[in-house]
Amino acid sequence: MTPTSKTRFEVVAPLLARQVREGVDERGQPFRYEGHAIYARVRDKGRLTWKSTEAKTVTDAKRWLRKWRHDHWALRNGFEPKGVVLQRGRVTVAELAKQYVEAGFPRRKKGKKSPRTIWNEERSLRPILSYFGATPAASLTAADCDKYHEWRADGSYVVTYKLRGHEQTKHTKGGNRAVDLELWTLGNVLAFAVRRGLLASNPLTKRPTYVCSDEIRHCREVAPTPEGLQAIIRKLRGNNENAVANVVAFLAYSGLRIGEALPLQWQAVNLDEGLVNVQREKKGCNPWVAITPELETLLREMQTRAVSPHLFASPHDPSKPRDASAVRHRLTAVCCKLKLGHVTPHGLRSYFVTEARQSGLTDAEIAALIGDKSGPALIATTYGDLRDDHLLAQARRIRHTVAGNDDAEDAKASHKASHMMPEDEAGIQQDSGRMQVA
């Protein structure tokens, strides 16, 4: 016979009951088991439910029920019970971070964060938990931020990672910008805890910042010139690093971020329509890239030597894309060899924007081409740049009209002034010297 049982609550006092399980066992004999703990019928979060008092006697259970009612009355009227205050004082940063991660890295406002933002916050939480993990969140102060900044600057944070299957450790330093981003993630964790009622207030609302706006290096400051770009590509190909040279050229000719370019596969390339389908980061717009003549030449050359579904396959595993850090390191090393200014993959995106602006495209058109949702304002302030040779050529097109002269005479005079022969300049200097001697 299949055993059957039923669990119910047996009342022992008003709003108090004991859990009872009774039924028929495997031999067909009736049985009855009574639990030792007494349960109370209470309203929790707006609905009636049974809560264990962890008391075995009715007297202790009634005392527990009176305390429950008193605590809920205090919370409804703006008074925090002593137990809630103590619990808030003991909760650690690690416990709050765990709940923040389980909630999916929620935003402070409506909407969802992009996958890239979540990835950055996951990385920022590692050093934060390494330093603040066991610290009670309510006890954090601005002085703790200063100590954390010194700790990161000293290289005390140890990173554990795997390199070709072997576990490696490395001491890493964090600059002012990195520390600010990590503390910003900690602030998000604390703000979420306040919203959930786990903290009375955010102790780091007025935390210090360590980076100055003058120290921030924009992507246009790490962009190469056309001559510098070609020198980098030639040097990489001369070193038999064709794969890295292809990545550098592709970023410069497409304007993609390195995180958008490396995962691309050949099935996303449509040479007939002149488009490359891409997955934009940062909620970007226009999920495609126009194939320019230089980019088409590069893609057709790469296609003849393709051995993987990825455009930029890893040298260790062709089924995976190339690692972004390896590209950055090789680009930095080549710039040092060539004695060029520091160039980054994002600087190649700025190179594309500069070439587009000098070709006559508007900032709105460029923003659409690179998939930036911010529009032309960001192109003008962050990416936008015009090289000196272009500005000089544009300045020579300026014409200043003089009253009484027709346009032909003005154009002729301006042409002579801007294209003066060297011997004429020498004659003017000699005449000026004679006048000074006289």
341: CATH: 1.10.443.10
Residues 362 and 229 in one domain: yes
Name which residue leads in pLDDT, 315 or 423.
315
Please give the share of the chain, as a percent, with pLDDT higher than 70. 85
Residues 209 and 312 in one domain: no
Residues 111 and 211 in one domain: yes
Q: What average pLDDT score do residues 58-66 get?
A: 89
Residue 343 · residue 224 · CB < 8 Å: yes
- Alpha-carbon gap, residue 199 to 96, rounded angstroms: 9
| Tally of domains in the chain | 4
* Residue 411 token pair: 């154009």
Residues 75 and 103 in one domain: no
Residues 354 and 419 in one domain: no
In this predicted structure, what is the pLDDT of residue 102?
Answer: 92
Residues 64 and 109 in one domain: no
Last residue in a domain, options 79, 109, 141: 79
Coil, helix or strand at residue 12: strand
In this predicted structure, what is the pLDDT of residue 295?
Answer: 92
Q: Residue 280: inside a domain, yes or no?
A: yes
Q: Residue 402: inside a domain, yes or no?
A: no
In this predicted structure, what is the pLDDT of residue 362?
Answer: 86
Kindly report the CA angle at 234 between 244 and 242, in degrees rounded to 5? 30
Please tell me the number of Cα atoms within 13 Å of 294 on its side-chain side: 13
**Average pLDDT of the residues of the chain:** 82
Name which residue leads in pLDDT, 412 or 70.
70
| Phi/psi at 38 (5° precision) | -100, 135
- Alpha-carbon gap, residue 404 to 414, rounded angstroms: 15
Neighbours of 416 (CB within 10 A): 11
Q: Note the pLDDT tens digit of each residue in 414-427.
A: 444 444 444 444 44
Residues 240 and 370 in one domain: yes
Q: Residue 211: inside a domain, yes or no?
A: yes
Last residue in a domain, options 215, 250, 285: 215
Q: Note the pLDDT tens digit of each residue in 174-202.
A: 888 899 999 999 999 999 998 888 888 88
In this predicted structure, what is the pLDDT of residue 99?
Answer: 92
Per-position DSSP letters for 276-345, written without gaps between them: EE---STT-S-SEEE--HHHHHHHHHHHHT--SSBSSB-SS-TTSBPPHHHHHHHHHHHHHHHTPPP--H
Q: Residue 85: inside a domain, yes or no?
A: no
In this predicted structure, what is the pLDDT of residue 438?
Answer: 36
Q: Which residues are bridge partners to 403 per DSSP? A: none
Please give the share of the chain, as a percent, with pLDDT higher than 90. 29
Task: Tell how far CA 221 is from the center of its chain.
Answer: 20
333, pLDDT greater than 90 = yes
76, pLDDT greater than 80 = no
284, pLDDT greater than 60 = yes
Residues 161 and 246 in one domain: no
Q: Residue 387: inside a domain, yes or no?
A: yes
Residues 254 and 193 in one domain: no
Q: Note the pLDDT tens digit of each residue in 198-239.
A: 888 888 888 888 887 666 667 677 888 889 999 999 999 999
Coil, helix or strand at residue 92: strand
- Alpha-carbon gap, residue 199 to 138, rounded angstroms: 7
Q: What is the CA radius of gyration of the chain?
A: 35
In this predicted structure, what is the pLDDT of residue 80?
Answer: 58
Q: Residue 234: inside a domain, yes or no?
A: yes
Q: How distant, in Å, are the alpha carbons of 116, 170, 174, 337 from that of 162?
A: 22, 11, 21, 29
380, pLDDT greater than 90 = no
CA 423, 429, 432, 434 torsion-angle sign: negative
Residues 98 and 210 in one domain: yes
- Alpha-carbon gap, residue 33 to 8, rounded angstroms: 11
Q: Residue 399: inside a domain, yes or no?
A: no
Q: What is the CATH number of the domain that holds 146?
A: 1.10.150.130
Q: What average pLDDT score do residues 158-171 get?
A: 82
Residues 229 and 211 in one domain: no
In this predicted structure, what is the pLDDT of residue 422?
Answer: 45
In this predicted structure, what is the pLDDT of residue 170?
Answer: 86
In this predicted structure, what is the pLDDT of residue 379?
Answer: 74
Q: How distant, in Å, are the alpha carbons of 106, 302, 316 from that of 97?
A: 12, 45, 35
Identify the domain containing residue 228 by its residue range: 223-392
Last residue in a domain, options 79, 100, 128: 79
In this predicted structure, what is the pLDDT of residue 407?
Answer: 54
In this predicted structure, what is the pLDDT of residue 396?
Answer: 80
Residues 320 and 378 in one domain: yes
> Is pTM beyond 0.75 here?
no
Closest CA to 192 of 103, 79, 123: 103
Closest CA to 202 of 141, 112, 145, 143: 141
Coil, helix or strand at residue 155: coil
Q: Residue 397: inside a domain, yes or no?
A: no
